[in-house]
Amino acid sequence: MTYYYRLGKIPRKRHTQFRQPNGCLYHEELISILGFSGVQSLLYHLRPPTQIHKILLQRSPDIPPEESGPLRPRHLRTATVAASGDAVEARVPLMLNADLCIGVARPTQSMQYWYRCADGDEVIFVHEGSGVFESQYGILRYKTGDYLVIPTGVLWRIIPDEGIEQRMLFIEACGHIEPPKRYLNSYGQFLEHSPYCERDIRPPQELITHDEEGEFEVRVKARNQITSYIYHYHPLDVVGWDGHLWPFAFNIEDFEPITGRIHQPPPVHQTFEGPGFVLCSFVPRLFDYHPLAIPAPYNHSNVDSDEVLYYARGNFMSRQGIEAASITLHPRGIPHGPHPGTYEGSIGKERTEELAVMIDTFRPLQLTKYALALEDKDYPYSWISRSEIGK
Ligand SMILES: [Fe+2]
């Protein structure tokens, strides 16, 4: 994140003697991005984080794109994706390019291992569910509507609350995910025009130090493969840390919408940015208040980006046939816009209760075989009004 935070106990000066009650030194681990030039945090372990006892190739997440047929708008119904496995194993990759992979997950179990993605940052949008996000940085309770932003290098696991259905959208990026630079001043502080600020960010709240011996598995995703490392002590043995690199939660309900007299463009909804993409939050808000305003969005031609929308809640007023957990993909090159009747139908409406997450990518996305299995084949033709059908 953009500001300094600390939890637990740390010595007054970094890289100086800091001893455990038994007289042994604590073991430092600096986690830094962009070599030593980016944000970083310094962690203090009970034991060295380097003592690997066994290495096993877990699996290569082989997710070949299976794009088929002509370029067309896509509608994927993900509501019926099977719920099983833990928060990583349950991931169903749906679309990807060289910058990111987007998919959904419906975990039913706690992770029995800890996980680190070394290829880039991750965002998990919790559409439904609650539980604990546990990391070396401490405990973070998550709930419906949270974005969990996990920097690369963070060791974590998710423990869903028992009996609570979980539904997640995930983005695995090949780089770092940050608030848009235009929301921040040169000191890294959120500016007044930003739709959210530091008070809306939830850092890890409680650091629990595990001093346990046994057999503990850490899975690392790097170079597009997952490798298991077995350690003989609990990996969450951190007694304190400080720095700017830490996982956090930000709830979509804390995104303050920017509205205007006439229709505001998608950048006002921007929440995060990453290499080759932006992420926007469409939240319940008042509609445009010019006396002649048309609240429905206008047709537009995204000639050099692919637009992905994940529909979480409410009537997404510009589209028909869309349900909760639907994903639409409007690829570059084809104009798109509201369904027939929605311009007129939107006039005079005062507010919307829609809740959706948008991801615009600057490189073309390709679908996986899992996405093709969820496709609504009629969607590309759904802009023809009923009176036109049969002509
Ligand atoms: Fe659009």
Q: What is the CA(271)–ligand 1 centre distance, in A?
A: 16
Q: What's the rounded Cα separation, in Å, for the pair 316 and 358?
A: 13
Determine the pLDDT at residue 390: 44
State whether residue 198 is helix, strand or coil.
Answer: helix
Helix (H) or strand (E) holding 370, with range, is helix 369-372
Which portions of the chain are predicted below pLDDT 70?
1, 61-62, 316-318, 386-391
Q: How far is the CA of 322 from the centre of ligand 1 (A)?
A: 14
Three-state DSSP class for residue 286: strand
DSSP state of 303: T
> Could you give the CA distance from residue 104 to residue 116 in angstroms, rounded to a whole number?
18
User: Ligand 1 centroid to 120 CA: how many Å?
Assistant: 27
pLDDT value at residue 345: 86
| Inter-CA distances, 384 with 107, 338, 379, Å | 38, 11, 10
Residue 79 Cα to ligand 1 midpoint, Å, equals 22
CA of 319 to the centre of ligand 1 (A): 11
CA of 358 to the centre of ligand 1 (A): 9
Domains in the chain with CATH codes: 255-380 (2.60.120.10)
> Residue 316 Cα, ligand 1 centroid: separation in angstroms?
12
C-alpha 176 to ligand 1 mean position (Å) = 25
How far, in Å, from the CA of 343 to the mean position of ligand 1?
A: 14
Element (H, E) at 197: none
Contact 280, 269 (CB under 8 A): yes
Query: Looking at residue 318, what is its pLDDT?
Result: 62
Calculate how far, in angstroms, residue 363's C-alpha sits from the geometric centre of ligand 1.
16
Distance 346 CA to ligand 1 centre (A): 17
Taking the centre of ligand 1 as the mean of its atom positions, its distance from the CA of residue 300, in whole angstroms, is: 6
Centre of ligand 1 from the C-alpha of residue 301, in Å: 8
| Nearest of 241, 279, 312, 249 to residue 100 by alpha carbon | 279
Cα of 337 vs centre of ligand 1, distance in Å, is 6
Distance from the alpha carbon of residue 193 to the mean position of ligand 1, in angstroms: 24
What letter would DSSP give residue 195? S
191-216 pLDDT, tens digit each: 999 999 999 999 999 999 999 999 99
For residue 330, how far is its CA from the centre of ligand 1 (angstroms)? 7
